[in-house]
């Protein structure tokens, strides 16, 4: 009976410790950097690999501002739309991510350094690359049956009033 109790306790301990390892948390430095800026889309002058496409923001997107909010209950990505609305243009970052919403929930995969938006295609994620006040989100589709080129979205950060 003692061996059964000890074995059960060991299994329970392993299961609870494994679940803590699999929790997805955003490293504090990444979290602080994403939250510290208001991100505006830009056209990048950087070169890119041939297997990736650069997104060129349309005029209606250029005055949009995006912000990240991290909270225990839910992470939120928000768009504050500019004066010119994109309307029915489905090829904009705004339309692809937000449709007609202002917020989108997301999770962050620390190992892959990527964002997965709530209710999105299970194969779709966005790799996060940060360099000071520049952000690149690289759209990836890992569906083995779909051949979709990665798309790079570039953003320039402007410090928020709370972090100045």
8 Å CB contact between 137 and 116: no
pLDDT of the residue at 89 = 72
What is the CATH classification number for the domain harbouring 70? 2.40.128
Q: Is residue 17 situated within a structural domain?
A: no
Banded pLDDT at 37 (limits 50, 70, 90): very high
From CA 109, how far away is CA 67, in angstroms rounded?
18
Backbone angles phi, psi at 147, to 5 degrees: -105, 100
Q: Is residue 52 situated within a structural domain?
A: yes
Q: Is residue 62 situated within a structural domain?
A: yes
Please list the helix, strand and coil fractions of the chain in percent, rounded to the nearest 5, in that order: 25, 35, 40
3-state secondary structure of 94: helix
Count CA within 13 A, CB hemisphere, residue 118: 10
Q: Is residue 144 situated within a structural domain?
A: yes
Residue linked to tokens 């059960």: 8
Percent of the chain residues past pLDDT 90, beyond the cut: 40
Q: Is residue 68 situated within a structural domain?
A: yes
Could you tell me where the DSSP H helices lie in 22-151? Answer: 28-35, 93-98
Tokens of 83: 């004066």
Look up the domain containing 156 and give its range.
25-163
Res. 17: pLDDT tops 70? no
Q: From 154, 109, 94, 104, select the one nearest 130 (Cα to Cα).
A: 154
From CA 67, how far away is CA 76, in angstroms rounded?
8
Q: Is residue 158 situated within a structural domain?
A: yes
Q: How many domains, the chain?
A: 1
Tokens of 146: 């779909």
pTM of the model: 0.77
3-state secondary structure of 115: strand
8 Å CB contact between 92 and 81: no
Quick one: average pLDDT of 75-103?
87
pLDDT of the residue at 54 = 87
From CA 75, how far away is CA 150, in angstroms rounded?
24
């Amino acid at each position: 009976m003692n061996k059964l109790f000890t074995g059960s306790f060991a299994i329970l301990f392993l299961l609870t410790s494994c679940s803590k390892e699999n929790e997805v948390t955003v490293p504090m430095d990444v979290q602080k950097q994403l939250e510290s800026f208001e991100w505006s889309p830009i056209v990048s002058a950087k070169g890119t690999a041939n297997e990736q496409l650069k997104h060129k923001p349309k005029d209606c997107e250029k005055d949009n501002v995006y912000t990240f909010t991290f909270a225990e209950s839910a992470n939120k990505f928000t768009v504050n739309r500019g004066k010119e609305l994109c309307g029915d243009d489905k090829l904009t970052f705004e339309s692809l991510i937000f449709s007609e919403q202002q917020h989108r929930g997301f999770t962050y995969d620390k190992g892959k350094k990527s964002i997965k938006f709530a209710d999105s295609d299970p194969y779709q994620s966005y790799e996060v690359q940060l360099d000071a006040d520049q952000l690149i989100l690289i759209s990836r589709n890992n569906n083995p049956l779909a051949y979709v080129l990665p798309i790079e979205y570039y953003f320039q950060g402007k410090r928020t009033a709370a972090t100045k």
